[in-house]
């Protein structure tokens, strides 16, 4: 066990401090999708969180300036996809600004409620948006799970220290 750092290294709150701290936090990787006015939209999210079991609800954050935000702001349903360690390239595509996220090699289909559903993921859900909460430069979306499929095979993809990585035993 290592000793806690002294208080002399503490920093005042700032965007850089928050980013630095959360680079040390390993997070699961999800892709959020929706149907927009001009076609499917989606983005990589590491902010996915379970909120409630009864009713089954989750949350995720999306930047208010993100290209996907207008569609997320207007839609009734979103797709939530849990990525496997074999999907680093897919995660990078959905994280990259200006990328053709739904072009080849991305494999997807129209799912329930018109939500784009990605193939080959560990699990997916279609969720009904119940609230969008302003939170600084982001919005927190609360969504109730309508249906899903947890039967994908493999191990989860993680995001840590600014890169996509896998679990180690």
pLDDT digits (tens, 9 = 90+) for 87-122: 999 999 999 999 999 999 999 999 999 999 999 999
**Which pLDDT belongs to residue 3?**
62
27 within 8 A of 158, measured Cβ to Cβ:
yes
Record the pTM: 0.92
Q: Hey, how many other C-beta atoms are within 10 angstroms of the C-beta on 135? A: 10
- 3-class SS at 87? helix
Residue 124 in this model has a pLDDT that exceeds 90: yes
Least confident of 12-21, 47-56, 126-135: 12-21
32 within 8 A of 77, measured Cβ to Cβ:
no
- 3-class SS at 113? helix
Residue 169 in this model has a pLDDT that exceeds 80: no
**Which pLDDT belongs to residue 2?**
61
What percent of the chain clears pLDDT 70, i.e. is strictly above it? Answer: 97
Residue appearing with tokens 């680079």: 23
Token pair, residue 153, equals: 């095979």
- Give CA–CA dist 77/146, Å, rounded: 9
53 within 8 A of 130, measured Cβ to Cβ:
no
For residues 7 and 156, the model is more confident at 156
């Amino acid at each position: 066990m290592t000793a806690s750092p002294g208080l002399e290294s503490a920093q005042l709150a700032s965007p850089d401090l928050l980013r630095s701290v959360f680079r040390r936090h390993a997070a699961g990787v999800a892709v959020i999708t929706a149907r927009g006015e001009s076609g499917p939209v989606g983005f990589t999210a590491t902010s996915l969180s379970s909120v409630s079991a009864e009713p089954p609800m989750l949350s995720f954050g999306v930047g208010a300036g993100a290209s996907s935000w207008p569609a997320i702001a207007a839609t009734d349903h979103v797709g939530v996809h849990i990525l496997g360690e074999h999907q680093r390239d897919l995660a990078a595509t959905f994280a990259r600004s200006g990328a053709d996220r739904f072009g080849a090699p991305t494999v997807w289909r129209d799912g329930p409620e018109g939500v784009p559903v990605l193939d080959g993921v560990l699990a997916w859900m279609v969720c009904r948006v119940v609230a969008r909460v302003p939170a600084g430069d982001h919005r927190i979306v609360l969504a109730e799970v309508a249906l899903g499929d947890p039967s994908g095979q493999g191990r989860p993809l993680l995001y840590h220290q600014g890169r996509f990585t896998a679990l180690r035993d």
